[in-house]
Amino acid sequence: MYLVDANVLLELLYKRDRWRECYDFLNKVKAGIVKSYILHFTLHGISAILGDPKLVSNFLSEIATWRGLVVVDLPIDEEILASELANSVGLDFDDGLQYYYAKKAKLQIVSFDSDFDKTDVKRIEPRNVKTS
C-alpha cells in the first residue's frame, strides 16, 4: 500500500511534465484498484495552493469519491513525534509527516521528491506502482 505525496496531485492539477503518469496512477486509486492513503495535512496544503474556495470545494468533493483512498488525520502528539523524527533524518516538516506516517503504517511513499531517498522508507514514482 501507498502514501500519496502532494506533488503527485499537483503534477496532475497543473499538468506538469509527468501529469499523465499521475493521472493513470490516481485513476487506479479512484477506482479502488490501488489502495492508498493521504494525510489530511496534504489535502490542506493543496487546498491552500489552489486558494479559490470553489476550486477547493471541487477538488475535495472529487477526492471524497475515490474508493481506494483513505484520508488520515494525525493527532498533534504524533505531529510532534513526526517533527522530531524529521529533524533526525534531515527532512522538513511536511516531508517529515509523510515519512512518519509511512514508517508507522509500513507504506511506500508515492512521490517525485528525492529527499525521501535518504530515509529508510521506500519512495516510488507513480508509473512504478503495482496494481496487484
pLDDT along the chain (132 residues), means of 10: 97 95 97 97 97 97 97 97 95 96 98 96 96 72
Could you tell me the pTM of the whole model? 0.94
End-to-end CA distance of the chain: 10
Q: What pLDDT, on the 0 to 100 scale, is given for residue 131?
A: 83
User: Do the Cβ atoms of 66 and 30 come closer than 8 Å?
Assistant: yes
CA nearest neighbour of 3 among 100, 102, 73: 102
Look at residue 2 and give its three-state secondary structure: strand
Q: Which three cell numbers stand for residue 130?
A: 503495482
Report how far residue 69's alpha carbon sits from residue 33's, in angstroms, rounded to the nearest whole number.
10
